[in-house]
Structure 1
């Protein structure tokens, strides 16, 4: 019954983020599959022209570049990947521009890096740009800026990027399109609905490496959890299945639905929780864990251990003595300083390791 109600609620979703993986968009050679792209664009345009607000996160640039450059396998060297992305992005956006124009939809290209969304001012600039495109009925076509990205500033894959974009624009729903119709259980039967991405759910996944794509079902589930923690329902569905996207927003039982248990949080808290990379961990005692749950700041007396090396202002996870993730926040001091005055009732510096305004309870 709960699943039916949640499925029905997707009919009311107005602002929708859709992500399509490389294998959905390109042939085995990496060449963009224009027929399949056309079918997908038709559905996206239908949502847009029906009064919705559509944001499209597209993979496939590197694959398209490999084909254009005559490269048979995905290279390992970063400069070669960047070169392929630079060439392939032009191929993809040209096709999208042609196909969306046929549907009387205007598009705008936005290339992002994790580093850009981590920096608060650039984060807000990216958000404002996307919201302005949406307000003017222009569909943002988003991809990671692979032509300049390095391992230090990459999202990891476009599933993560899509989840962060959904949070950034406060989407009503996120759809992650793959080449399967959702998660499969031990009997290879589609799992229609999940409440939480836990170890049991992840245990159902058996991803295989692929020469064109970097994501997989585990990546999609973990990215779905990121969005769901911010109150955004997520559907993982088959992007090669004609009409799948339309059926999702008709409330039909399509793909695997993860429906959030909690509502959205403030923009600053979103930025803290989801757009900063974790650089270390703080282990706290039971008293500190209870205090954090009541909305208190983290004090030195409650810190039992410091893991990792980081500077003041870094993002860290806060864990219980049993290894449970309790919170995430921006530290006031470096790992060396915290390690020196941990466990003390009064420290040589400020009494707060993480101020409650700079912390999100998980």
Structure 2
């Protein structure tokens, strides 16, 4: 088996504050999550085929280079990609062995890959035969940006292999990132991949996955933080299925019934987002010396924001007994948690201070897993898409 020619990874994302309120024009905060999707590109110079391997969803598929070349579009702007035409999309479906009614994860993952491979290959100097192996630490369908991390890693790997963006050379095995212009190109392609998967995405997930750190978003405007602290968290997947569409509609129904009550609740959620933005940027600022006692004050504010926001999200109707269970277990050990994403089950995050004792983390993790939940110790504010030596 050949060594990989290119290895890249891209992070997932969490919504820190502002869930649901963002639908009503309020600010929300999202951050990169240091659970990542990795892509290895193995060159096969004597081969005439391309293989995509996605072991997490039990998928492996091979195409002949000639068939992929026949589907290439003729009018591709590598720096400013556009959605596929109906004719081009039909050709991609034929290659994938799917049709427009296939919306399962396997079919959509194939489409995103084929779209990027054939489009980038259309005008690039080279896009050789090879094996593309993608694996992820992110659970699919949990609202953690797994599809965006996949699309971002694909874009970075293909654009690098085809010499569209500069190949990175880290020193002494260090991971490296691209310049801002190259990251913008990666982000553009990742967004188009997300459009194939989700139809009409906001662009938040792929932006966080590409650039890392944290962003605020409000009324369609995305603003990256100049600096952001990396915070340790426990990420908890309750594995309770939920429908984002149903939850959003439930909040809308409550808003329509009780606008005078819901408006101040949504305003309070936005104030939490604004306060979080200030705290994270001050904690992460390289020009501010954070003393131990000052750092404690910042974390106390964040813990209060977590507790208040969880109560407000319960008030607008997106809580769930499984999330209450997470809060009960974590608070017993002096930790603070809230839902992240749509609510109604799904995932929660638990804020950890830098000095949180290891035995406390172990106890909480064990108790949560005993409830049937998945738990990861990870960080937010992680680096964006990166190339590995």
Return the TM-score normalized by structure 1: 0.32
Higher percent of residues as helix:
2
- Ranked by relative contact order (alpha carbons within 8 Å, sequence separation 6 or more), the top structure is 2
Return the TM-score normalized by structure 2: 0.30
